[in-house]
Chains A and B, each alone.
Chain A
Amino acid sequence: MKRYRANLIAAVGVTLALAACGGTSNNPQPGSNLPTSIGPGEGALNLVAWTGYVESGKTDPKVDWVTPFTTQTGCKVNVKFADTSDEMVTLMRQGGGTQWDGVSASGDATNRLIAHGDVAEVNVNLVPDFKDVIQSLQSPRHNTINGKHYGVPYMYGPNVLMYNTQVVFPAPTSWKDTWETSSPYKGKVTAYDSPIFIADAALYLKAHNKNLGINDVYELTTNQLEAAITLLKQQAPMIKKYWAATTDETDPFSSGDVVIGTAWPYQVSFLKTEKKPVAAVVPSEGATGWADTWMMSSHAAHPNCMYQWMKWTETPAVQDQVAEFYGATPSNAKACDILRKNIGDSADKDYHCGDDAFLKNIALWKTPLQECGDSRGTTCTDYTVWQRRWQEVRGTK
């Protein structure tokens, strides 16, 4: 057990050391075995994605960025929608990594996939629009290790507080009503069903319980984690339904069973399209969020189609389409111009398109590790501990 843990620390340490070196390089030197051009398409592409990221006209015939892709490249897209990062990691490992070619991984999945060798280094020179990606997303620690890029950025966004405007007033400015037992909406709250949600509890405590000294919500010591778990257990009886699949949130919101809770911009967009009375806000305590990367499996059966997809989804036109449908913010700064043209100031007010400062304020999902990355050394709790404690929280309901 001791040697096992030592190996774990070593592995994590190495990864972090590599990651620390990764943020500085601006001119990535692709490895020698990377492709220098995109070969002929294989005719098919299997993707794992967040719901709403790969639209082929099934939701709304006018919302389709897959059919033009297939027409242009001949790659027929088959997509599996996953609800949590954990599910994505598991899917990418199925069949020895050959079953799915690519994944739209968030920061709490990327490093796990890279460390396990599930995803391949990509040659970003083959993605012409990569140079227009906003600065902080060009070589972020969550997908670039030692100058090697393991994917191309797609969209990013915060986990917002969504609420029913007819029931919840005044308009909330704090996460308070989803955590405190004094909430007038208890019994009609919702929360995200994944261990990563512990970070949201930590975020609330960071603002309201300064004694705990929480700084990075993904680097929690045992004490800090314990406090977060207590808060979550306090919240559990207030929750009507935890959601992982987006319909598990949009259904109860539509029917009035749930009136307030954490949501992705996608659910907000969807409910607004359905003419439901909802609104969203990033409260004063801040928000957790995600920056997603398209990554390619290291055993991909259709690598050329995957490169074509990465190229396609980095173009400003497609990025703008996705942004308008999903509600997330494009990584390609040129897409912001198109967005501003199409939706006016909402592009800056709601999407904060191209706003680096806003992005830096979101506590982006990342995999909790034992290595705190600061003076506390290796006293932080890692993701397996989070998974076990989350099970505890869910089991109490």
Chain B
Amino acid sequence: MTRNRAIEPRSVQVSMGVVSVLVLLFLYVPLLVIILYAFNPARSQSWPLPGLSTRWFVATWNNADVRTALITSLKAGLGATTIALVLGSLAAFAIHRFKFFGREAVSFVLILPLALPGIVTGMALNSTINLGGQLLGLSFSLWTIIIGHATFCVVVVYNNVIARLRRTTTSLVEASSDLGADGVQTFRYVILPNIATALMAGGLLAFALSFDEIIVTNFTSGSEITLPKWIFNNLRLPNQRPVVNVVASVLLIASLIPVYIAQRLTQESGGLVSGRGAVVPAIEDAAEQAAAS
């Protein structure tokens, strides 16, 4: 809803503005503090910092455990994102195109991993893996991490793709068929270009979600260490704090970049349908279908 001039009185505008700035400060100052601590030359965490130094960046880079954790996180992220992209877009197509019994239920089930508290999801998956261990010799590994992450990354991709599909007119598909294209060609030349940026945005968000995840990962990783788990384990070792600070700052910046790119990608088509913000439109979706059916 665009407007040319605000209708609120000046005093309200100014006070709202001031409070907004304060809230933004509240949001960003802790992040800046962490980044500052990464340059803390001392091992002690007390404030104020005795100076600024980059010695811990070097130490972190040389730390083999950090490198291993980073690679594990990257692998888990790529694996989970790939699965989420495939399953999420399939689900989006299915729900967008077809009206079938249980449509609302499917949307609901997709959101569940994000809507339920992480500890419930984590425990549930942990029980299954343990049972799988007893019955099938399944063990905690990179794959169990990927499976856990993929389960709640699916809805992120789903929401972005379905939001885009809704803005794409079906007449394009019909026109393509009329011109003699079969299913694969239509998909490749008509549908895919349209949802490409939504897929990329969904994929980037899914990756960011997986890269940062700790709550469920604690239950599904066994002895594999992802970067957030490394931080979690090393928070208890005071002499590792400086390295933790560096890793934390890098993690901070590294997770902002995919999100920023995703935001730019979806700017024209209505913006991001992000992470847990994805639940709200998905619930709205379910409500719509319930109303329509």
Contact = CB atoms under 8 A, between A and B. Distances in A.
A and B, direct touch (CB closer than 8 Å): yes
Give the residue among A58, A250, A274 with the most B Cβ atoms within 10 A.
A58
B7 to A, nearest CB: 50
A254 B237 CA distance: 14
A9 interface: no
Interface string B151-173: 00000000000000000000000
Contacts of A95: 133, 139-140, 222
A60 B239 contact: yes
Given A95-B139, A254-B46, A274-B44, A246 B223 contact: no
Contacts of A94: 140, 222
Given A46-B223, A80-B223, A247-B237, 8 more contacts: A59-B237, A59-B239, A78-B223, A94-B140, A95-B222, A99-B140, A245-B236, A254-B45
Nearest to B139: A95
B238 interface: yes
B236 A81 contact: yes
Interface of A: 46, 51, 58-60, 78, 80-81, 83, 94-96, 99, 245-248, 250-251, 254-255, 270, 274
B222 A270 contact: no
B191 to A, nearest CB: 45
Nearest to A273: B239
Contact of A58 (B45, B222, B239): B239
Contacts of B233: 81
B235 A247 contact: yes
17 contacts: A58-B239, A58-B240, A59-B239, A60-B239, A81-B236, A81-B237, A94-B140, A94-B222, A96-B133, A96-B134, A99-B140, A99-B223, A245-B236, A246-B238, A247-B238, A254-B44, A254-B46
Contacts of B237: 51, 58-59, 81, 247
Contacts of A270: 238
Interface in B61-95: none
A255 B46 contact: yes
Contacts of B44: 254, 274
Interface in B16-44: 43-44
A247 B223 contact: no
Contacts of A246: 236, 238
A242 B222 CA distance: 27
Nearest to B241: A247
A59 B235 CA distance: 13
Nearest to B138: A95
Contacts of B133: 95-96
A273 to B, nearest CB: 10
Interface in B126-182: 133-134, 139-140
A142 B134 CA distance: 30
Contacts of A248: 236
B137 to A, nearest CB: 9
Nearest to A46: B223
Interface string B220-253: 0011000000000101111110000000000000
A254 B42 CA distance: 14
A254 B235 CA distance: 15
A250 B239 CA distance: 11
Nearest to A63: B239
> Which of B43, B139, B223 has the most C-beta atoms of chain A within 10 angstroms of its own C-beta?
B223
Contacts of A274: 43-44, 238
Contacts of A78: 223
Interface in B266-288: none
A141 B44 CA distance: 42
Contacts of B45: 251, 254
A71 to B, nearest CB: 16
Contacts of A254: 44-46
A128 B229 CA distance: 39
Nearest to A250: B238
B64 to A, nearest CB: 10
A46 B238 CA distance: 22
Contacts of B223: 46, 78, 80, 99
B222 A51 contact: no
A273 B239 CA distance: 11
A393 to B, nearest CB: 23
A94 B46 CA distance: 38
Interface string B90-134: 000000000000000000000000000000000000000000011
A299 to B, nearest CB: 13
Contacts of B139: 95
Nearest to A59: B239
The 3 closest A-B pairs by CB, nearest first: A245-B236, A59-B239, A247-B236
Contacts of B238: 246-247, 250-251, 270, 274
A258 B191 CA distance: 63
Nearest to B134: A96
Nearest to A99: B223
A52 B99 CA distance: 61
B28 to A, nearest CB: 24
A46 B225 CA distance: 14
A157 to B, nearest CB: 20
Contacts of B46: 254-255
A60 B43 CA distance: 12
B133 to A, nearest CB: 7
A78 B222 CA distance: 13
A270 B45 CA distance: 15
A62 to B, nearest CB: 12
B237 to A, nearest CB: 7
A60 B133 CA distance: 39
A80 B225 CA distance: 11
